[in-house]
Amino acid sequence: MSGPRPVRAPRGTELSALGWQQEAALRMLQNNLDPEVAEHPDKLVVYGGTGKAARDWRSFDAMVRTLRTLKQDETMLVQSGRPVGVMQTHEWAPRVLIANSNLVGDWANWEEFRRLEALGLTMYGQMTAGSWIYIGTQGILQGTYETFAAVAAKKFNGTLAGTITLTAGLGGMGGAQPLAVTMNDGVAICIDCDPRAIERRIEHKYLDVKADSLEHALQLAVEARDARRPLSIGLLGNAADLLPRMLAESAPIDIVTDQTSAHDPLAYLPVGVEFDEMASYAAKDPAGFTTRARESMARHVEAMVGFMDAGAEVFDYGNSIRGEAQLAGYDRAFAFPGFVPAYIRPLFCEGKGPFRWAALSGEASDIHKTDKAILDLFPENESLHRWIKMAGERVHFQGLPARICWLGYGERDRAGERFNDMVASGELQAPLAIGRDHLDCGSVASPYRETEAMLDGSDAIADWPLLNAMVNVASGASWVSLHHGGGVGMGRSIHAGQVTVADGTPLAGEKVRRVLTNDPGMGVIRHVDAGYDGAESVAADRGVRIPMREG
């Protein structure tokens, strides 16, 4: 009988698979479940509430076994975390093709998903959990850092010094918030109902201190704000209870957002339920729990709107909390915007997004060498330099050493080719797995998040992520994934991912060049099609062909 056990990817250059492309998939699958990386590895849950790397332990074992024997011209097919076939393909084809959590439109809701999940027929893949390129909290840190920097630029003269941010959720993704705020010189109060989440972020140095009470948190925050000293403060409690209290007491909050697992009502703690009883209550009475969680989210969002009315900068951080609050009958849920239209879309128009890579050697020195290569490649990009320097000093690696930075069209391919050359020359000790989040410029349809308020109203058009997945298959990615429901929950998103392995061979160099050009290219063409001028100029300047603009 196979069951929970500690999983850790092997390090070094000894292969247990037949080639580095397969070995990379194997190590990244295992790395997603490394206790340093995953939120609940015993349940195969990587992050984001219930985002899993494999459907069950038997499926995990079968994938490991299959990847170890998979040939260079074979492809393993994964259906919602379970390997269902091996097909003969060719060496340019991906070694793994993954489809996770997909449901036909009219059936695409949590109720039907849970029914099928209980039958053992599907699993929730989130974005990078089921596609094996989650790299711990660092992955989201860069995006969160960029977002808070954009808030600072928009409202606070380019710095968060002298401001207090209020947020909740210190889980796998939300745990990046305190450090992203302090990296922008601000003060953050971060609420979580799970004491372990607070302790873990302090341990990883993403969070500075824990407050004893709400009063203590506010006192610490005000002192630090007045001294223009960056500080992040963890506060234990329920956000749906604490936010309304803070609003009623006119707490001096400048920025409000949230990263509780609101996309999944069974992962949001309702007011009046003890944290320790949450899991058993959700399992026993999912419908009753959902109703209570949504009611609490409505209170939580109502307080956020209250802070907005009082003059704070308020935004939804991509967890669907507005949608859930609306379902509970709160009619001003969408009074504040999502973070993509508010801050990120101009970057998407340039094909920019969360480019990341992991060192399969397990050596931190490999990442430090790639950091230097990135700085050398893009000497003119100041914010990139600031990020790489701060990441080098402050980011604690979880699992295989990895790095993320946002690069655009015409940049990712240059970085990828340089990395492949570094593997070929022996400068790096082993190959790199180069991938990205599904939250990218041209890989997702998600009307409450990445495609909210598109200029031409095309928010819900889901052809783009399907084209993105097909383009990456056609371009030579090592594994390609197509998921439903990541980030914002069932029925609300369709998204694709790719990972391409730079193993130092000329063939990998060719694949890396094509994939890392075409993948961000999807972002440029998607935004040209929607009518964004910024994307039009990138396409014109950098030679992205748009048939409807030719002839």
Which residue's Cβ has the minimum distance to ligand NAD? 171
- Angle, in degrees to the nearest 10, between helices 57-69 and 20-32: 160
Asked whether the beta carbons of 9 and 31 are under 8 A apart, the reply is yes
Q: How far apart are CA 415 and CA 145, in angstroms?
A: 21
Give the per-residue contact string, 83-112, with ligand NAD (x = CB under 6 A; - = no).
------------------------------
Judged by CB under 6 A, does residue 193 bind ligand NAD?
yes
Residue 112 vs 194, nearer CB to ligand NAD: 194
Say if residue 207 is exposed, middle or buried (CB neighbours under 10 Å; 0-12, 13-18, 19+).
buried
Tokens of residue 469, six digits = 């997945």
Q: Is 260 in the site for ligand NAD (CB under 6 A)?
A: yes
The answer to whether the annotation marks 172 as part of a ligand binding site is yes
Q: Which stretch binds ligand NAD (CB under 6 A): 186-194, 355-363, 460-468, 492-500?
A: 186-194
Give the pair of three-digit tokens for residue 480: 């390609």
Does 192 participate in binding ligand NAD (rule CB under 6 A)?
A: yes
From the list 7, 93, 181, 262, which residue makes contact with ligand NAD (rule: CB under 6 A)?
262
Answer yes or no whether residue 33 interacts with ligand NAD by CB under 6 A: no
- Answer for which of 148, 156, 206, 317 binds ligand NAD (CB under 6 A) is 317
Q: Which is nearer to ligand NAD, 172 or 509 (CB)?
A: 172
Q: Please, what is the minimum distance in Å from the beta carbon of residue 300 to ligand NAD?
A: 7
Could you tell me if 175 and 317 are in contact, meaning their C-beta atoms sit under 8 angstroms apart? Answer: no
Convert residues 466-495 into a mask of x (bound to ligand NAD by CB under 6 A) and - (unbound).
---------------------x--------
Interaction residues for ligand NAD, span 318-337 (CB under 6 A): 318-319
Of 169 and 351, nearer to ligand NAD (C-beta) is: 169
Q: Which of residues 134-153 bind ligand NAD (CB under 6 A)?
A: 140, 143
Closer to ligand NAD by Cβ: residue 274 or 533: 274
* DSSP type of residue 397: P
Q: Which 156-175 positions form the footprint of ligand NAD (CB under 6 A)?
A: 168-174
Q: Is 532 annotated as a binding residue?
A: no
Question: What DSSP string describes 82-119?
Answer: EEEEEEE--TTS-SEEEEES---GGG-SHHHHHHHHHT
| Binding status of residue 60 toward ligand NAD by CB under 6 A | no
Region 36-55 residues binding ligand NAD, contact defined as CB under 6 A: 39, 47-49
Q: What is the 3-state secondary structure (H, E, C) of 178-231?
A: HHHHHHCCCEEEEEECCHHHHHHHHHCCCCCEECCCHHHHHHHHHHHHHCCCCE
Angle between helices 533-542 and 506-529 (to 10 degrees): 140
| Complete DSSP assignment for 16-36 | SSSSHHHHHHHHHHHHHT-TT
Q: How far apart are CA 513 and CA 418, in angstroms?
A: 10
Q: Around Cβ 282, how many Cβ atoms within 10 Å?
A: 21
Give the shortest CB-80-to-ligand NAD separation in angstroms: 18
Closer CB to ligand NAD, residue 239 or residue 349?
239
Q: Which of 436, 405, 408 is nearest to 520 (CA)?
A: 408
User: In a 3-state reduction of DSSP, which class is residue 151?
Assistant: helix
Give least dist CB 242 to ligand NAD, A.
8
Catalytic residue among 193, 349, 405, 441: 405
Nearest-angstrom CA–CA distance, 270 and 291? 9
User: Was 126 annotated as part of a binding site?
Assistant: yes
Alpha carbon separation from 353 to 140, 273, 401, 468, 489 (Å, rounded): 11, 38, 20, 14, 21
Instruction: Identify which of residues 31 and 66 has a Cβ nearer to ligand NAD in the complex.
Output: 31
Query: Is 358 a residue that touches ligand NAD (CB under 6 A)?
Result: no
Residue 12 assigned as binding residue: no
- Asked about 405 being catalytic, the answer comes back as yes
Which residues share a beta bridge with 77?
A: 85, 97
Q: Does 243 bind ligand NAD (CB under 6 A)?
A: no
Least distance in angstroms from the C-beta of 40 to ligand NAD: 9
Distance between CA 544 and CA 397 in Å, rounded? 36
Give the count of beta carbons closer than 10 Å to the beta carbon of residue 16: 12
The residue (of 193 and 251) whose beta carbon lies closer to ligand NAD is 193
Nearest to 301 by CA among 327, 274, 272: 327
3-state secondary structure at position 414 = helix
- 239 known member of a binding site: yes
Q: Is 180 in the site for ligand NAD (CB under 6 A)?
A: no
239 binds ligand NAD (CB under 6 A): yes
If the CB atoms of residues 242 and 400 are measured against ligand NAD, the closer one turns out to be: 242
217 binds ligand NAD (CB under 6 A): no
Helix 412-424 × helix 364-377 angle, to 10°? 130
508 binds ligand NAD per the rule CB under 6 A? no
Decide whether 267 or 402 has the Cβ nearer to ligand NAD.
Answer: 267
Ligand-binding site membership of 481 (annotated): no
The site that binds ligand NAD (CB under 6 A) totals a number of residues, namely 34
- HSE-CB of 283 using CA atoms within 13 angstroms: 6
CB of 258 to ligand NAD, least distance (A): 8
Residue 280, C-beta contacts closer than 8 angstroms, at least 6 positions apart: none
Summarize the annotated binding site for NAD(+) as residue ranges: 48-49, 126, 172-174, 192, 238-239, 259-263, 268-269, 317, 487
Q: Which residues are catalytic?
A: 405
Q: Which residues bind ligand NAD (CB under 6 A)?
A: 39, 47-49, 140, 143, 168-174, 191-194, 197, 238-240, 259-263, 267-269, 317-319, 439, 487
